[in-house]
Amino acid sequence: MLMHQSSGPEGTIAGQDDGATPSSPPAQSIDESFKERARQILAHSQTVTAGSVHLIGLDEIRQELGDRWGSVNERVHVYTERMLKKVLSPRDVWFRYGENHYIIVFAQADRRSAQLTCSKVMESLHQALLGHADTRRITVKTAVVDVGGGVALDTARLADLLKDAVHKPEGTAAASPPPADAVFPAAVSTAIPAAIPAAEARRPHRPEMPADTITPQSRPKVLFRPVFDVKHKVVSTYCCRTDADTARYLNLMDAFDPEREEAVFDLDMETLSLAVSTYNELYANKFRYAQTIPVHFGTLASSRRRREYIQACRMIPRVLMPFLAFELDGLPAGVPYGRLAEIVAMLRPFARAAMAILHEDAGDLSVYATAGVKGVGLRLDGREDEPHILERLQTFCPGPRKFGMFAYVDGVRNPVELEVAEAAGAAYLSGPIIGEDSEVPEHMKRCTERQLLQRSRRRHHPETPWG
């Protein structure tokens, strides 16, 4: 039986077998089968109480995927299991039960908090895999003890749990604490807020991180940055970027710290999930834009991380792929052609192009072009003095064009940098002067450079009546 428990009290679950295949319920309804299994767990463990044993299922996802389920079901399970590993604490236990279900045993959370955590996991799965989440159809089943001492099932809908949470006094029940070694718990937070606004019920809640307390338990926050197309005078592309707190947290970690590698990997997975789920929802509402998704070299250089990342890419809806591009970040100097070509080839089936962004001016552009990279970007550091930034722009931008690639610049902050970057041949520009990072992309905007500057002045000086 496939069972996962990072650590926990001895005797938490009795009668577990080790094996490669999931536990199969008997030939009876899943409800009756779960009641029987829960009865065994409760009877053989002194540390597990009624209300801590829960069942979640993938039947709704299977039904919506239809004929596609046969080819993608294992990837769906990989995605689900990775989410459970990140969300649950080391003392919690989960295992696959039957073909499409999971049993979760919480070590500390009360019944309502555990139900809400399970339901929010399912909401995140629906949002990421289907592009929408109907809170009225997302349910979790809980084993409870009836008046006669037997085991009964309590079925809770996410819509009802959210409604109850709005009226619950702040600070009542909290779910099991997050794993101490989880740098960024993906998908949902195990500490469910006491009140969730109704307008936000359709998406996973993302707690704000205090500016002066970035902790390993904080999830990375991903924002959408507008990009200006110099030739067509339009803002119709968005690139994903982390917020300042997440970037600062990563920058403070040692570059060779294994925890940083995992943190960056979690950031890449969160970015991919958010970008695709957001676009999937907007696409259904006739919203179109080009989306750039960054992925770090370290994620694709590790066989384990690469496998998980590509598995997640396979869940991207085909209709979105022509609008997506991957941006390779952190390419080492002197990366071999074969290695880079292999990475580009892995990403090519899921997007229209692969690009590379550099933090320094170094980079063998001929290798990039031969490997299939379509564009190369330069990320400006605002801490540098202005003359040095302008010199870098003039030196960098003509380079990619010589090898048939386009040049783009991220971090443009003032009119002088914008003018110099355009004059040097940059095809795309992003940064504070183009537009602020936002939680969702906006509609396409046609505008000239003069209009961009006017909008930038209004954002920074709203009280000034600019003409």
Count CB-CB contacts under 10 A for residue 207: 13
Q: How many helices (H) and strands (E) does the chain have?
A: 15, 15
Q: Length of the chain in residues, anyone? A: 467
Same domain, 177 and 252: no
Residue 317, domain extent: 222-460
Any domain includes 92 = yes
Distance, CA of 45 to CA of 23 (rounded, Å): 19
Asked whether residue 105 carries a pLDDT value surpassing 70, the answer given is yes
Q: What is the DSSP letter of 350?
A: G
We report the CATH number of the domain holding residue 300 as 3.20.20.450
Same domain? 441 vs 352? yes
Q: Does residue 314 lie within any of the structural domains?
A: yes
Q: What is the pLDDT of residue 354?
A: 97
Residue 398 CA from chain centroid, whole number: 34
Asked whether residue 172 falls in the same domain as residue 229, the answer is no
Is residue 323 one of the residues assigned to a domain? yes
Point out the domain boundary residue: 165, 200, 235.
200
Cα–Cα dist 382/403, whole Å: 28
**214 assigned to some structural domain:** no
User: Residue 423 and residue 105: Cα distance in Å, rounded?
Assistant: 61
CB 123 within 8 A of CB 131: no
461 band by pLDDT with thresholds 50, 70 and 90: low
More confident residue, 41 or 56: 56
At residue 59, φ and ψ (nearest 5 deg) are -60, -40
Number of domains in the chain: 2
**275: closest CA among 189, 351, 330?**
351
Residues 283 and 231 in one domain: yes
pLDDT band at 152, cuts 50/70/90?
Answer: confident
Of the CA atoms within 13 Å of residue 327, those in its CB half-sphere come to: 25
In a domain, 465, yes or no: no
Decide if 213 is inside a domain.
no
Give the residue from 136, 168, 200 where a domain finishes. 200
Domain boundary residue among 200, 231, 246? 200
Same domain (yes/no): 180, 317: no
Distance CA 387, CA 100 (A): 60
159, 346 Cβ separation under 8 angstroms: no
Q: Are residues 39 and 169 in the same domain?
A: yes
345 with 250, same domain?
A: yes
Neighbouring residues of 434: CB distance < 8 A, sequence distance ≥ 6 = 226, 227, 228, 235, 412, 452, 456
Mean pLDDT computed over every residue of the chain: 78
Q: Pick 166 or 81 by higher pLDDT.
A: 81
Q: Is residue 32 part of a domain?
A: yes
What is the C-alpha separation between 425 and 46, in angstroms, rounded?
70
- The pLDDT of residue 440 is 93
Give pLDDT, residue 171: 41
Dump pLDDT digits (tens) for 307-323. Answer: 999 989 988 999 999 99
16 is written with which tokens? 């577990």
144 and 194 share one domain: yes
Same-domain pairing of 376 and 277: yes
Strands 375-379 and 406-410 turn out to be parallel
Q: Is residue 249 part of a domain?
A: yes
One domain for residues 194 and 250: no
Using pLDDT thresholds of 50, 70 and 90, give the confidence band for residue 434: very high
Same domain, 196 and 233: no
Find residue 96's DSSP bridge partners. Answer: 102
**Pair (294, 428) in one structural domain:** yes
